[in-house]
Amino acid sequence: RIVAVERVLGRIIADKSIPKVMQNGPYDRQAFLRHLKVRIAGYDWDTYYGMFMRMSWLKAFGLAAQVRW
């Protein structure tokens, strides 16, 4: 079952026609390449970097900080 899920997930991740939104995308790219041997295509937006661009004066940009704002 896990292999089937990995196969489907790998197809979605490699499909550039499906936009991907991530939290800390550079880490996600490394993790998917390391564990599934798949390069992310269609990396469209990163919430962590988006939060930084919007509110660079904050000291934290993770999901917990985003929920507060």
Of residues 19 and 65, which shows the higher confidence score? Answer: 19
DSSP state of 58: S
The per-residue pLDDT for range 7-64, each reduced to its tens digit, is: 999 999 999 999 999 988 999 999 999 988 999 999 998 887 877 777 777 777 677 7
pTM of the model: 0.66
Q: Supply the pLDDT for residue 59.
A: 73
Distance CA 67, CA 62 (A): 9
